[in-house]
Amino acid sequence: MTEARASAFLKARMKEVEITYAELAKLKKHGFKDETEAGITMKLKRGTFSATFFMACVAALELEEVVLDEL
């Protein structure tokens, strides 16, 4: 999985569930306690983030599954 594909996947899912970067940053229960809207925006723009961040996004977006072929 490339960084760009992982980032595109998360952005597409955010659009599907209609959640903004600002709303994502407010979801403290999923591990975003130190994240800001700007920080999340830049991580997804650059495509450089940890697997932990990816999993926190998956949890915050309440995705039941991630199909690796989609990445």
Map residue 60 onto helix, strand or coil.
helix
Residue 65's pLDDT is 82
**Domain edges within the chain:** 3-62
Residue 68 pLDDT exceeds 80: no
Residue 4's pLDDT is 85
d(Cα 38, Cα 16) in Å, to the nearest integer? Answer: 21
**Angle, helices 37-46/3-16, rounded to nearest 10 degrees:** 130
3-12 pLDDT per residue, tens: 788 999 999 9
Residue 25's pLDDT is 84
pLDDT band at residue 2 using 50, 70 and 90 as cut-offs: confident
23-58 pLDDT per residue, tens: 888 877 776 778 888 998 999 999 889 888 888 899
